[in-house]
Amino acid sequence: MSRLANKEEQKTRKKSEPFHWLYMLLLVTAIQIISGGTVLTQIQEAQLEVLAVFGSFLVVEWLYFVLARNLAGQRSTELEIIAFLLSGFGLVTVASVYPNYALKQFIAILIGLGAFVILLALMRNTEVVNALHIPVAVGCVGLLALNLMLAKVHNGALNWINVGGISIQPSEIVKIGFIFVGAATLEKLQSARSLTSYLVFSLGCVGALFLMRDFGTALIFFCTFMVMAFMRSGDIKTIGLIGAGAVLGAGLIVYFKPYVAKRFKAYRHVWEYMNDSGFQQTRVLIYSASGGLFGLGIGNGRLRKVYASTTDLIFGVICEEWGMIVAFCVVLSFAFVAVYALRLARHARSTVYAIAAVASAALLLVQLSLNVFGVTDLLPLTGVTLPFISRGGTSMICSWALFAFIKSADIKTYPKLEIQMEEKS
């Protein structure tokens, strides 16, 4: 009897649901077909491969939504719509600039989607999260240590490992672990109230990144750490002290190692150094402004010829070719996802989810700011990627994983738990 009533209730709710995922998916598909089709008419090489990649991407996309709705009972799939739309933007742009890279990018999206699903499953049970803390922490530290030992100099930063021809960026994977380790149940937080062990772990990560001279990622980790430490303890004094210490440390480094400061000498003076250290920023500004609100059309840009156009500078490429409206919508949607994460955290069923969602949203926003404002010279250029859109496998996986952390905080993600909760209320 009661089960029947529940089904009835679900049916009525489905009707009144304001968000029609199917229409959205159709629109997303339309965008992808238009943009993908444009790219296919333009590229000179690997057309068949790119066509296959685009086709498979669409199939995976539809498959995911159909399975998620019908098998996993997902009723709230907005986050995935956003993720697929942005991944699609990235895939199309990458395929348009480097047709031969499309397959790699697609595989990265697949792995990212896999990570998303696995993390959602893992996060279902807070006891599992608690139990995995130590192994994940050890893994993170190990990965960074391995990176420090093995990595070759790359872009002035030692942040890549080459494994059988595939270069991976451990710091991106450690981002996931970093948040995972920081997210704990209230019981665990209250049992071990001192920040010390968590502090040692976090500062270890930040320090390792600093040694790799990956200042951008180090800064992202540091900001995320501050947010998580605050969420966990609410201890403003200690956190303020750490913040002050970091500023002081940064000042000392700049004082004793002037070459660090030199890397940022073009900041706010890019037009004076427009042909050396301000080259990338000025080109982003020039070509972004050239695109206007609607862009010059995919493939018609010139920023794509500038070094790192599909990684660090991809915001500029989107601005130039897709237009300012699309570019600003993309970055604005992250701000709204952060508001969603905030509301989820307020209603979360465990502190694990509250911490994970808030930390993920903060990480995404900080990284987004460093990228978007870095290439447009509002902040120093540190060379971090744009989540979901930049070329690069590990970055893509990390972006999906962060969305998984946010989604896991929503009770709707776990329909069985939700019914259990609603029955009582």
Partner 1 sequence: MDFNEIFDILVIISRYLVAGLAVLVLGSCVFSLVGRQFGKRIGSYLYDPGSKTRLPLTRWENSVGRSKTCDVVLSMPDVSRFHAVISKRRNGWVVADTHSSAGVFVNGSAVVQPTPIAHGDTVSFGSVGFVFVDADEDEKEQEAREKRRAFSRKAAARAAAMKPEAEFYPALIDEAGDKAYIITCDSCLFGRGPDCDVRLRYPTVSSSHARVTAQGGAWFVEDLGTTGGTTVNAKPIGQSKRRLHDGDVIGMGGVIFLFNEHYKVKNRTDAEGW
Partner 2 sequence: MNTLTKRAYVLLGIIAAFLVGLVLLAVSFFLHGGTWATSRANGHLYSGGQITNAGRILDRNGVVLAQSVNGKRKFHSDAEMRKATLHAVGDQYGYIACGAHTVCRDTLIGYNRVEGIFRLVSEGEGNDITLTIDAKLNKLAYQALSGRKGCVGVYNYKTGEILCNVSAPSYDPTNKPADIETNSKYEGVYLNRLLNGLFTPGSTFKLVTSTCAIDNIPDIGSRTFSCSGSFTAPGGGKVICNGRHGTVSFGKALTKSCNSAFSAIGIELGRDKLTKTVNALGLCESYNVSGVRTAKGRFDLSKAAAIDVGWAAIGQYTTLMNPLNMMMLAGAIAGGGATPIPYFVRSTISDTVGSLKTTNRMSAQTAATLRSMMRDNVVNNYGDQKFPGMSFGGKTGTAQMNGEKSHAWFVGASMDANFPYAIVVVVQNGGGGSDVAVPIASKVMKALKG
Interacting residue ranges for partner 2, rule: CB under 8 A: 186, 189, 227, 230-232, 234, 274-275, 282-283, 285-297, 300, 302, 305, 323-324, 328, 331-332, 334-335, 338-339, 341-342, 345-348, 350-351, 354-355, 357-358, 361-362, 365-366, 368-369, 372-373, 376, 378-379
Q: Which residues pair with 166 in a beta bridge?
A: 163
Nearer to partner 1, 49 or 418 (CB): 418
Name which of partner 2, partner 1, none residue 250 binds, using a CB cut-off of 5 to 8 Å depending on partner kind.
none
- Interatomic CA distance for residues 4 and 10, integer angstroms: 10
- Interatomic CA distance for residues 361 and 408, integer angstroms: 13
Does residue 423 interact with partner 1 by CB under 8 A?
A: yes
Q: Which residues pair with 162 in a beta bridge?
A: 167
C-beta of 15: minimal distance to partner 2 in Å?
32
Does residue 349 interact with partner 1 by CB under 8 A?
A: yes
Question: What Cα–Cα distance (Å) separates residue 85 from each residue in 61, 72, 90?
Answer: 10, 21, 9
Could you identify the residue written with the tokens 């940022």? 264
C-beta of 190: minimal distance to partner 1 in Å?
4
Does residue 289 interact with partner 1 by CB under 8 A?
A: no
User: How many CA atoms lie less than 13 Å away from 254 in the CB half-sphere?
Assistant: 12
Nearer to partner 1, 157 or 231 (CB): 231
Burial class, 250, CB count within 10 angstroms (exposed 0-12 / middle 13-18 / buried 19+):
middle
Say what angle helices 324-346 and 78-97 make with each other, to 10 degrees.
150
Max CA separation in the chain (angstroms): 76
Pick the binder of partner 1 from 254, 340, 369, 415 (CB under 8 A): 340
Which span (336-344, 362-370, 374-382, 388-396) binds partner 1, by CB under 8 A? 336-344
- Report helix, strand or coil for 355: helix
Q: Which residues pair with 161 in a beta bridge?
A: 168
- Report helix, strand or coil for 76: coil
Q: Looking only at residues 130 through 169 of this chain, which bind partner 1 when binding is defined by CB under 8 A?
A: none
Nearer to partner 2, 162 or 194 (CB): 194
Per DSSP, 153 falls in state P
Does residue 31 interact with partner 1 by CB under 8 A?
A: yes
**Footprint of partner 1 on this chain (CB under 8 A)?**
18-19, 24, 27-28, 30-31, 34-35, 38, 76, 78-79, 81-82, 85, 125-127, 185-187, 190-191, 193, 234, 293-295, 297, 322-323, 325-326, 329-330, 332-333, 336-337, 339-340, 343-344, 347, 349-351, 410-411, 417-418, 420-425
